[in-house]
Amino acid sequence: MFRNNEPNAMKTKVCGLCEIEESTLYRIQIEKGKMWLFVCKTCCEKSKNLENYKYGGTWKGKRH
Mapped to the 3 state alphabet, what secondary structure does the chain carry? CCCCCCCCCCCCEECCCCCCEECEEEEEECCCCCCCEEECHHHHHHHCCCCCCEEEEEEECCCC
The whole-number pLDDT of residue 62 equals 84
Evaluate if residue 4 carries a pLDDT over 80: no
The whole-number pLDDT of residue 56 equals 98
The whole-number pLDDT of residue 9 equals 77
Evaluate if residue 50 carries a pLDDT over 90: yes
Evaluate if residue 13 carries a pLDDT over 60: yes
Query: Residue ranges per domain, the chain?
Result: 13-60
- Which pLDDT tens digit goes with each residue over 29-41? 999 999 999 999 9
